[in-house]
């Protein structure tokens, strides 16, 4: 969200910066990445629009989202466009399955006050992990084709898409700004919280498989945690 070659948002502050009049679309607001992104954007002064299940609406708002949309709504695109139409939009941060396509179609319908850039923070992952190298490379070929298709869709409506690489934070000023200048003060002052809430499946290495099985079933707004035995 902050790197100069991506959304280049204003840096977060504690106490939070006052609203700057710009909106940011962050999908997957109940995920670990989404929960962090919402809090960072709000601390930077942006009004956040997010997507999640209705049971997580309240949680998303508690984290700083101005509005939460049901990601299963058949009219999701239209609902988001209706709220953002005519407003200054800083772009979109796409997290979760179907989010890239959603963000492309939303930004493609907004006017000149919109930065038409979708930052791709994730890509589709199969329900079953690849069993061998053949399946893995077959899947990666599918991802490459998916990426090309979404880029073509984006080009058709004048939207740019870019994958973000987290390791870049260690090579530029953003890591220092977030992890040294902002987070210690915000955490100490209660202006930033660890989210989603942890779901502890057990203590000890023997619970790792159980944790993975729980994760495969689909977990929303919870972190799966295995604690160390004492």
Query: Per-residue pLDDT tens for 106-127?
Result: 999 998 899 999 999 887 777 7
Taking 60 as the threshold, does the pLDDT of residue 192 lie above it?
yes
| Percentage of residues in the chain having pLDDT higher than 70 | 85
- Say how many C-beta atoms besides its own lie within 10 A of residue 147's C-beta: 16
φ, ψ for residue 136, nearest 5 deg:
-65, -50
Task: From 64, 63, 65, 35, select the one nearest 50 (Cα to Cα).
Answer: 65
Residue 50: pLDDT band by 50, 70, 90 thresholds? very high
Residue 212: pLDDT band by 50, 70, 90 thresholds? low
pLDDT for res 127: 72
Q: In what order do the strands lie in the sheet with 160-163?
A: 65-70, 47-52, 22-26, 88-94, 117-120, 160-163
User: How far apart (Å, rounded) are the C-alpha atoms in residues 230 and 217?
Assistant: 29
Contact 153, 104 (CB under 8 A): yes
Greater model confidence, 225 or 157: 157
Greater model confidence, 209 or 60: 60
For the chain, the average pLDDT equals 87
pLDDT for res 124: 79
Contact 80, 94 (CB under 8 A): no
Picking from 21-30, 62-71, 159-168, which range would have the lowest pLDDT averaged per residue? 159-168
Residue 164: pLDDT band by 50, 70, 90 thresholds? confident
Residue 207: pLDDT band by 50, 70, 90 thresholds? low
Region for 182 from its dihedrals, namely left if φ exceeds 0, alpha if ψ lies in -120 to 50, beta otherwise = alpha
Mean pLDDT of 165-170: 72
pTM as predicted: 0.84
Mean pLDDT of 150-173: 86
DSSP notation for 28-55:
-TTSHHHHHHHHHHHHTTPEEEEEE-GG
User: How far apart (Å, rounded) are the C-alpha atoms in residues 220 and 174?
Assistant: 28
Mean pLDDT of 124-144: 84
User: How far apart (Å, rounded) are the C-alpha atoms in residues 28 and 180?
Assistant: 26
Contact 229, 207 (CB under 8 A): no
pLDDT for res 218: 56
User: How far apart (Å, rounded) are the C-alpha atoms in residues 22 and 2?
Assistant: 15
Structural domains of the chain sorted by starting position, each given as residue range(s) with its CATH number in brackets: 22-188 (3.40.50.720), 197-227 (no CATH)
φ, ψ for residue 211, nearest 5 deg:
-60, -40
Residue 202: pLDDT band by 50, 70, 90 thresholds? low
Taking 90 as the threshold, does the pLDDT of residue 7 lie above it?
yes
pLDDT for res 51: 96
List the structure tokens of 104: 């492309």
């Amino acid at each position: 969200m902050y790197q100069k070659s991506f959304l280049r948002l204003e840096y977060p502050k504690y106490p939070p910066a006052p609203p700057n009049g710009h909106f940011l679309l962050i999908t997957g607001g109940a995920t670990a990445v989404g929960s962090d992104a919402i809090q960072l954007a709000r601390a930077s002064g942006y009004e956040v629009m997010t997507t999640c299940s209705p049971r997580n609406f309240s949680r998303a708002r508690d984290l700083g989202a101005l509005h939460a949309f049901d990601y299963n709504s058949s009219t999701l695109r239209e609902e988001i466009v209706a709220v953002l139409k005519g407003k200054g939009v800083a772009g979109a941060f796409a997290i979760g399955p179907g989010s890239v396509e959603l963000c492309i179609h939303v930004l493609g319908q907004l006017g000149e006050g919109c930065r038409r850039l979708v930052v791709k923070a994730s890509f589709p992952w199969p329900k079953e992990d690849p069993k061998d190298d053949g399946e893995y490379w077959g899947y990666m070929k599918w991802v490459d084709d998916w990426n090309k298709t979404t880029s073509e869709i984006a080009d058709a409506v004048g939207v740019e898409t870019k994958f973000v690489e987290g390791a870049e934070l260690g090579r530029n000023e953003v890591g220092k700004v977030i992890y040294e200048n902002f987070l210690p003060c915000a955490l100490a002052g209660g202006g930033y919280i660890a989210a989603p809430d942890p779901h502890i499946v057990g203590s000890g290495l023997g619970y790792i498989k159980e944790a993975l099985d729980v994760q495969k079933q689909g977990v929303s707004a919870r972190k799966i945690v295995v604690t160390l035995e004492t």
